[in-house]
Structure 1
Amino acid sequence: MDARIRSELTGFIVDNYLFGDVSRTPAVDESLVEGGVVDSTGILELIEFLESQFGIEVSETETVPENLDTIARMTRFVLGKQHVLETA
């Protein structure tokens, strides 16, 4: 499951922020903000993607680097949110 989520996140980032340039694909633990891949507007677009693609809701208090700054962190965040939905 996490490989699928990671792959979808990576694809979205490459398509929408790197304009298909796979040679610039960030490592899973590379900061998207510090690496210049996304800015504050890009984070909002990422949140919209996470919500629509993975059926989760991202609250304002969850929009922190610990959840959204790397592909690995976003993958863990999505998995955690989906787990909560499954057990609710």
Structure 2
Amino acid sequence: MTTDIKDSVRRFIREELEWSGPDEQLQDDVSLIDAGVIDSLSLLELGHWIGDSYGFKVDDTEMIAANFETLNAIEAFVRRGSQA
């Protein structure tokens, strides 16, 4: 499941957010925000997609950079959310 979450997020970033940068910027521990992969608008889109895809509501208070900084952080966030 670990790889599935990260791979799904990578696909979403590439296909839905139409990001076409280098693969190095989509590594597990790279800051997606600092690398310019996601901005505030795409963070909202990603948050809504995660909630829909993994079956839980992403609260507005959870839409913070710490939960979406890296693919590792996103995976941890999804795991916490899907257990709630």
TM-score band by shorter chain is 0.7 to 0.9
**Matching of residues 1-88 of structure 1 within 5 Å:** 1-15=1-15, 16-19=17-20, 23=23, 25-84=25-84
Q: Conserved in 1, the CA contact under 8 Å of 2:25 and 2:37?
A: no
What is the TM-score of this pair, normalised by structure 2?
0.85
Structure with bigger gyration radius: 1
In the alignment, structure 2 segments of 5+ residues that lack a partner are: none
Q: CA RMSD in A?
A: 1.7
CA distance in 2, matches of 1:59, 1:14: 24
Q: Which runs of 4+ in 1 moved over 2 A?
A: 21-25
How much has 1:78 moved relative to structure 2? 0.3
**Where does the alignment leave 5 or more consecutive residues of structure 1 unmatched?**
none
Aligned length: 83
TM-score (norm 1): 0.81
